[in-house]
Amino acid sequence: MLNNEYIEVLVGGLMMVIAVAVAFFMVIGFLEKDLLISFVTYAASLAGFAIGLHGIFMIHRTKE
């Protein structure tokens, strides 16, 4: 079974990938370009980065 730290890294990476995909879909015109969606994708990307980084730091801390 996966530890909570590895789940944090996976969730953070998934949030970042989804945010990039939504932004890409807005650029190619599949989704409507909207300021609210842009802010939400930016927030999801930033939150995913923070969650993933926290998971990586916790993995590093437990290995020491």
Which pLDDT tens digit goes with each residue over 3-49? 888 999 999 999 999 999 999 999 999 999 999 999 999 999 999 99
19 near 41, Cβ under 8 Å?
Answer: yes
pLDDT at 14 (0 to 100): 97
| pLDDT at position 62 | 81
Domain with 10 in it = 4-63
Quickly state the pLDDT bin for 1 (edges 50, 70, 90).
Answer: low
Q: How many domains does the chain have?
A: 1
Nearest to 20 by CA among 5, 6, 31: 31
Contacting residues for 52 by C-beta, under 8 A, at least 6 apart: 8, 9, 11, 12, 13, 16
pLDDT one-digit tens code per residue, 37-52: 999 999 999 999 999 9
Q: Does this model's pTM top 0.75? A: yes
